[in-house]
């Protein structure tokens, strides 16, 4: 068998694999995000309930899923809450992976730095900025001087959820009867 015959045979095998794999989604990648209800922990504490879940699914052998968050309030007294969590997974397809941001049990509770210094009677409109990302492995199949990339797709998504933090007044006169405004 000469070299031309081997190259032709390899090209035919790659072409047949392309036709077979091309008839279905060989490297489909899906992502979904579930953002939890973001809120102040009652009664008027400096703690925030927060979190989101990033779900990824791929027909490739490896996948990486993750995200980040940032809580900020428009106040010179308060700082920010930041967290991120990313995890890779390798296994037989389909690869399905869910990642909690922040890591651990959700909803998570985090302290908003400096909230105790906010003057009484103040309502802050705060932002929960979140990101989510999923990425699958990339492979290159080839023979006879030609190659075909497979996989390597990735998705990112981000958005902001708005919530309020209330710091009660210093006096004993409660005009809201203990309710958040």
Residue 22: per-residue pLDDT? 47
The mean-pLDDT minimum among 37-41, 100-104, 151-155 falls in 151-155
Domain boundaries, the chain: 26-167
Average pLDDT score over residue span 12-25: 49
CA distances in angstroms from 27 to 8, 67, 75, 96, 153, listed in the order given: 26, 22, 46, 13, 8
Q: Which CATH number, 3.30.420, 2.40.30, 2.60.40, 3.40.50, labels domain 26-167?
A: 2.60.40
Backbone angles phi, psi at 178, to 5 degrees: 80, 5
The mean-pLDDT minimum among 8-22, 36-50, 163-177 falls in 8-22
Strands (E), the chain: 29-35, 39-40, 47-50, 52-58, 62-72, 81-90, 95-101, 108-111, 122-136, 138-143, 146-151, 154-167
Question: What is the C-alpha to C-alpha distance for residues 19 and 44, in angstroms, rounded to an integer?
Answer: 62
Residue 14: per-residue pLDDT? 53
Residue 102: per-residue pLDDT? 97
Which residues, 6+ apart, have CB-to-CB distance to 101 below 8 Å?
51, 52, 53, 54, 66, 67, 68, 69, 83, 84, 85, 130, 132
Residue 143: per-residue pLDDT? 82
Average pLDDT score over residue span 164-173: 80
Question: What is the C-alpha to C-alpha distance for residues 146 and 6, in angstroms, rounded to an integer?
Answer: 14
Question: What is the C-alpha to C-alpha distance for residues 31 and 53, in angstroms, rounded to an integer?
Answer: 11
User: Residue 156: pLDDT above 50?
Assistant: yes
Residue 100: per-residue pLDDT? 98
């Amino acid at each position: 068998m000469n070299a031309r015959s081997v190259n032709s045979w390899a090209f035919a095998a790659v072409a047949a694999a392309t036709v077979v794999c091309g008839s279905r989604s060989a490297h489909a990648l899906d992502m979904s995000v579930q953002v939890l209800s973001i809120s102040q922990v009652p009664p008027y504490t400096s703690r925030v309930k927060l979190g989101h879940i990033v779900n990824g699914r791929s027909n490739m052998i490896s996948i990486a899923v993750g995200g980040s968050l940032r809580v900020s309030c428009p106040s010179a007294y308060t700082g920010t809450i930041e967290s991120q969590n990313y995890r890779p997974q390798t296994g037989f397809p389909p690869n399905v992976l869910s990642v909690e941001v922040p890591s651990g049990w959700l909803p998570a509770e985090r302290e908003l730095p400096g909230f105790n210094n906010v003057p009484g009677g103040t309502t802050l409109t705060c932002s929960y900025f979140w990101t989510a990302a999923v990425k699958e492995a990339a492979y290159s199949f080839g023979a006879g001087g030609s190659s075909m990339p497979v996989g390597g797709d990735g998705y990112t998504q981000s958005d902001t959820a708005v919530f309020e933090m209330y710091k009660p007044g210093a006096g004993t006169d409660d005009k809201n009867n203990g309710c958040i405004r």
